[in-house]
Amino acid sequence: MVSKAIVILIISMLCVLSASCSADTGNDGIEAASDPPRDSESIATPSEVQKVSAAEGKQLMEELESYVLIDVRSADEFAGGHIEGAVLIPANEIAERAEKELPDKDMPIFVYCRSGARSANAAATLAGLGYTTVYDLGGIINWPYGITNN
């Protein structure tokens, strides 16, 4: 016979699992562009990568006096359309080029790619190199604010 304590334990575990599943941001874990913007407390802490949605990133970029926006896709992908103001530094070159092209390690940096995998790796690389305020925007496929070919 199952004791009352075991039944309570099982029910508690199911509640915890249920709560963590309902906190999912979508089918694949990517936050939707319609997520509400974060308040000013969302500024990334030093040497920590902050994952932000397109809406959160756009709001932060509007609030900041200066920042760098880096597209870590290939040159061909960049030429096919990128977020206005972005600088191209392909993910496979970020470690070699960062110190020269991004001399201010305290400048807020936003990183994006096509779907989010390369940007996560590039953002972690930048944080590992000592950049203090790094935001991972994820993929341009989730950027609803328009792109440019200029």
Active-site residue list: 113
Collapsed DSSP state (helix, strand, coil) of residue 42? helix
Residue 98's closest CA among 66, 131, 134, 76?
131
- For residue 148, the cross-strand partners are 82
d(CA 59, CA 39): 9
Neighbours of 98 (CB within 10 A): 20
The CA angle 102-137-78, to the nearest 5 degrees, is 70
Q: What are phi and psi of 101, to 5 degrees?
A: -90, -15
